[in-house]
Amino acid sequence: MSHPPDAPRVTVVVVTWQGRHLLGPCLESLRHQTLGHRLLVVDNASTDGTTDFLAAQHPEANVLVSRRNEGFAGGVARALGAVDTPYAALLNNDATAEPDWLAALVAHADACPEAGAVTSQMLLTDAPGTLNNTGVLLLPSGYGADRDLGEPAGSRPEPGEVFGFSGGAALLRTEAVDQAGGMPAPFFLYYEDTDLSWRLRLAGWTVRYEPRAVVHHAHSATADQQSESFAFYNERNRLLTLARCAPAGMAVRGATQFLVTTASLTLRRLIRRPAPDVATFRLAVRLRAFRSFLRLLPWAVRGRRAVVRRASPGVRAVADRWVGRAA
């Protein structure tokens, strides 16, 4: 697709659900960006007056309204289908960006044509001077984790390569995302960035970190990480990510370990031994997550076959070397 030379080269995508109270600061920070851009807001069937607010206060926003809540992953997938710029930037509705955020991301991507994504330096709003993340790590267990969570701001001052981007604030090269198979809409929430990062690598792209691209994030302002909903999507989507992207042995071990842990928790309750009273270890949540995983497994296997077709053995080996790296 040709792109007019004087048109914006990046579209900023903001997905929201019942987030009218958050959108003001977020979108105001985008008004102050030093780089021109398009703005696309996906409203996931909000009933809190979001569309009226956008029409009155932010007429610069193009708005896509979903008939139902499709989650963050579904909202981004819907937005990417409407993006015609070389880059798409993701920004959480509970985040605000420093004025040079977008310019820094695009400059980094321009300088690194092999980069499929560039992630930001995200700071915690409720803990000033503290990092939320500088990208995503992939642990040996297959869990994704925030890189540098809790470390002082600026402790990762140099740009460089990371395993994955954080979907809360990152730049995506639309060509690369298309080649990697797009955003996994069925994930709904969580792990969509880990999954896409892994598939970008398997498609031969890299993921980079840019410390000058600074965002302030009200962590979990839109989701309770102690909730059963968080536990359900977190556990299910980790298993789906492994099924879609991981070496076969790692994917099987992940599913097996999940079942072993669930059986152990069941036994502890049967013999009246104490078990952690957190959502992740509640049997009903775990069983529901695994049933949903099994229901989506055929879709995941089809996605895996597409990934394997695109990735050469050498590329797969490079991607797999990132598993469990601490940096």
The DSSP secondary-structure symbol of 224 reads -
SS3 percent helix, strand, coil of the chain, rounded to 5, is 45, 20, 35
Q: Is residue 1 included in any domain, yes or no? A: no
Same domain membership, residue 251 and residue 169: no
Helix (H) or strand (E) holding 63: strand 62-65
Same domain membership, residue 193 and residue 237: no
Report d(CA 207, CA 200) in Å as an integer. 8
Could you give the percent of the chain with pLDDT greater than 90? 80
What is the count of structural domains for the chain?
2
Banded model confidence at residue 321, pLDDT cuts 50, 70, 90 = confident
Q: Is residue 66 included in any domain, yes or no? A: yes
Q: What is the pLDDT of residue 295?
A: 98
pLDDT > 80? residue 38: yes
Q: What is the pLDDT of residue 275?
A: 73
CATH of the domain at 51: 3.90.550.60
Q: Is residue 2 included in any domain, yes or no? A: no
Q: Is residue 327 included in any domain, yes or no? A: no
Banded model confidence at residue 95, pLDDT cuts 50, 70, 90 = very high
Q: What is the pLDDT of residue 209?
A: 98
Report d(CA 216, CA 14) in Å as an integer. 15
pLDDT > 80? residue 326: no
Report d(CA 225, CA 216) in Å as an integer. 18
Report d(CA 209, CA 108) in Å as an integer. 9
Banded model confidence at residue 317, pLDDT cuts 50, 70, 90 = confident
Same domain membership, residue 203 and residue 125: yes
Helices (H), the chain: 20-31, 50-57, 71-80, 101-111, 174-180, 192-202, 228-245, 248-270, 283-310, 313-320
Mean pLDDT of the chain: 92
Q: What is the pLDDT of residue 4?
A: 61
pLDDT tens digits, residue range 81-94? 999 999 999 999 99
Banded model confidence at residue 223, pLDDT cuts 50, 70, 90 = low
Same domain membership, residue 250 and residue 210: no
Pick 140 or 228 by higher pLDDT.
228
Report d(CA 144, CA 137) in Å as an integer. 6
Banded model confidence at residue 221, pLDDT cuts 50, 70, 90 = low
Question: What DSSP string describes 263-300?
Answer: HHHHHHHHTT-----SGGG-HHHHHHHHHHHHHHHHHH
Q: Is residue 324 included in any domain, yes or no? A: no
* Residue that terminates a domain, selected from 164, 186, 217: 217
Same domain membership, residue 197 and residue 86: yes
Instruction: Please name which of 194, 221, 218 lies closest in space to residue 319, comparing C-alpha atoms.
Output: 194
Same domain membership, residue 212 and residue 296: no
Same domain membership, residue 161 and residue 18: yes
Same domain membership, residue 81 and residue 31: yes
pLDDT > 90? residue 150: yes
Same domain membership, residue 243 and residue 201: no
The whole-model pTM stands at 0.93
Instruction: Please name which of 51, 41, 48 lies closest in space to residue 12, comparing C-alpha atoms.
Output: 41
Same domain membership, residue 239 and residue 212: no
Q: What is the pLDDT of residue 121?
A: 98
Pick 2 or 140 by higher pLDDT.
140
Q: Is residue 323 included in any domain, yes or no? A: no
pLDDT tens digits, residue range 230-274? 999 999 999 999 999 998 899 999 999 999 999 999 888 788 777
Range of the domain at 274: 228-311
Q: What is the pLDDT of residue 220?
A: 64
Q: What is the pLDDT of residue 318?
A: 65
Q: Is residue 318 included in any domain, yes or no? A: no
Q: What is the pLDDT of residue 3?
A: 58
Same domain membership, residue 157 and residue 59: yes
Q: Is residue 319 included in any domain, yes or no? A: no
Q: 15 pairs with which residues across the strands? A: 42
Mean pLDDT, residues 147-152 taken together:
96
